[in-house]
């Protein structure tokens, strides 16, 4: 089968499209014919091993699993004898940041992995990006225990995580203020933001609003800068570690006290989470923002664009027609 593989950590060019052996499903596994995937910051982070810590999961000296692709959508082509909840022909969507595998024509999944049946009416292209940014957003929104009517600021509302966060926060009944640049104000409003701050014309730090939760979805602000904008028990979460990993330290210290705090939840995703996100999409409450679409052969270009930090939402990788 055709796959994009990497045998060493490094820049986008370490990825090569080549032929590898098609996987065979075990008794409790399904074989998925992949139609689409994404190239996202999770794939890029593991490929570059920019943060050395990722190697404790992906292999200390070289990658344990050579095919990246944390998101995937496709059709089940074979099932193991013990698989009861899925059948051949099921169209499914899922996420895997342990074994990955979406950047190939086939992958195998354990029947309890984080994937769910995709209802009719969804195209592979629009469904491929249902899980990555959105599950990070969901983990953080849950950690902040967002309640209906609360004021939330999403900084970086045009990324995969930020654009999902705005939509999920509206589902949970929050009042959302979103920060983005001028060309994307209309997009972010269309995602449901109640109020948009254009960072090219306005400094969000000068707003008179106070927030129960500030979610920095692009990891470019800091707790020190945002603290004054938090309510007395307000919560700050960033998707990045902060300068010298300060966010890890603050996540250990600030919750000891009763007031404002920084949290740093460890992301996870289950089959139930994928079902939740799929159901939201089915009800029209969540629609992943799609920027560019690349073919598997163009994967190096796709990585370069994703790592420019300029993508709007998600970058799709088409694996099959
Ligand atoms: N290491 C990992 O495994 C991992 C996994 C997932 C995510 N992450 C981190 O999570 C963050 C978000 O990822 P993502 O995929 O959602 O983001 P992304 O899609 O790469 O975010 C890019 C978007 O953020 C906007 N942006 C950049 N700087 C901004 C700023 N200062 N203010 C407002 N908007 C800004 C950009 O628009 P403009 O600049 O044009 O305004 C662009 O639309 C990244 O920092 C990423 O590294 C890490």
CA 143 from centre of chain:
16
Q: Mean pLDDT, to the nearest integer, of 50-74?
A: 95
Q: How does residue 240 score in pLDDT terms, banded at 50, 70 and 90?
A: very high
Does the C-beta of 180 come closer than 6 Å to ligand 1?
Answer: yes
pLDDT at 274 over 90: yes
- Quick check: CB of 269 below 6 Å from ligand 1? no
User: Does 121 have pLDDT greater than 90?
Assistant: no
Tokens found for residue 99: 């074994």
The beta-carbon contacts of 204-212 under 8 Å, at least 24 apart in sequence, are 204/153, 204/155, 204/179, 204/229, 205/229, 207/177, 209/151, 209/153, 209/177, 210/151, 210/234, 211/151, 211/152, 211/153, 211/177, 212/144, 212/146, 212/147, 212/150, 212/151, 212/152
Pocket-testing residue among 9, 53, 159, ligand 1, by greatest number of atoms within 8 A of Cβ: 159
Beta bridge partners of 104: 3
Cβ of residue 39 lying under 6 Å from some atom of ligand 1: no
Q: Is the per-residue pLDDT at 120 higher than 90?
A: no
Instruction: Write down the pLDDT at residue 81.
Output: 97
Kindly tell me the sign of the dihedral angle through the C-alpha atoms of 127, 36, 274, 24: positive
Residue position matching structure tokens 């664009």: 305
**Unique residue bearing structure tokens 């994307």:** 184
**What average pLDDT does this structure show over 277-301?**
97
Give the integer Cα–Cα distance in Å for 106 and 95: 14
Q: Residue 265: its pLDDT value, please?
A: 97
For the segment 263-278, the average pLDDT, to the nearest whole number, is 97
CB 63 within 8 A of CB 3: no
- Is 218 near ligand 1, meaning CB less than 6 Å away? yes
How far is the C-alpha of 204 from the C-alpha of 181, rounded, in Å? 12
The tokens for 194 are 């109640």
Calculate mean pLDDT across residues 33-44.
98
Q: What percent of the chain has pLDDT over 90?
A: 97
For the Cβ of 239 lying below 6 angstroms from any atom of ligand 1, the answer is: yes
User: Which parts of 91-168 are beta strand (E)?
Assistant: 91-95, 106-110, 115-117, 151-155
Q: How confident is the model at residue 290 (pLDDT cuts 50, 70, 90)?
A: very high
Q: Quick check: CB of 181 below 6 Å from ligand 1?
A: yes
Buried b (16+ CB within 10 A) or exposed e, 88-110: eebbbbbbbbeebbbbbbbbbbb
Determine how many CB atoms are found less than 10 A away from the CB of residue 197.
23
CA 299 to centroid of ligand 1, rounded, Å? 19
Tell whether the model's pLDDT for residue 130 goes beyond 90. Answer: yes
pLDDT of residue 51: 87
Nearest CA to ligand 1 atom 19: 159
Phi, psi of 75 (to 5 degrees): -125, 135
The Cα–Cα gap between 217 and 52 comes to 22
- Closest ligand 1 atom number to CA of residue 181: 41
pTM: predicted TM-score of the whole model, two decimal places: 0.96
Is the per-residue pLDDT at 256 higher than 90?
yes
């Amino acid at each position: 089968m055709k796959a994009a593989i990497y045998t060493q950590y490094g820049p986008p060019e370490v990825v090569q499209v080549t032929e590898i052996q098609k996987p065979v499903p075990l008794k409790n596994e399904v074989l998925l014919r992949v139609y689409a995937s994404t190239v996202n910051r999770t794939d890029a982070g593991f490929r570059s091993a920019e943060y050395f810590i990722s190697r404790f999961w992906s292999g200390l000296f070289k990658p344990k699993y050579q095919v990246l692709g944390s998101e995937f959508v496709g059709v089940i082509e074979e099932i193991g004898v013990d698989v009861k909840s899925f059948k051949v022909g099921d169209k499914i969507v899922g996420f895997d940041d342990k074994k990955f595998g979406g950047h190939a024509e086939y992958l195998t999944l354990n029947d309890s992995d984080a994937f769910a049946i995709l209802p009719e009416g969804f195209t592979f292209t629009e469904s491929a990006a249902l899980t990555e940014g959105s599950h990070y957003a969901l983990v953080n929104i849950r950690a902040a225990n967002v309640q209906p009517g609360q004021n939330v600021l999403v900084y970086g509302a045009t990324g995969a995580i930020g654009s999902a966060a705005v939509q999920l926060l509206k589902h949970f009944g929050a009042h959302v203020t979103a920060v983005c640049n001028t060309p994307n104000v209309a997009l972010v409003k269309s995602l449901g933001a109640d109020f948009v701050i254009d960072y090219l014309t306005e400094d969000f730090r000068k707003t008179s609003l106070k927030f129960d939760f500030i979610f920095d979805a692009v990891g470019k602000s800091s707790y020190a800068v945002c603290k004054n904008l938090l309510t007395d028990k307000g919560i700050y979460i960033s998707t990045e570690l902060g300068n010298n990993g300060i966010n890890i330290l603050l996540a250990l210290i600030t919750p000891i006290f009763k007031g404002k705090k920084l949290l740093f939840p460890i992301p996870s995703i289950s089959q139930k989470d994928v079902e939740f996100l799929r159901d939201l999409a089915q009800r029209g409450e969540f629609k992943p923002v799609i920027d560019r679409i690349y073919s598997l052969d163009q994967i190096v270009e796709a990585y370069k664009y994703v790592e420019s930090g300029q993508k709007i939402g998600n970058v799709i990788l088409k694996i099959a027609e």
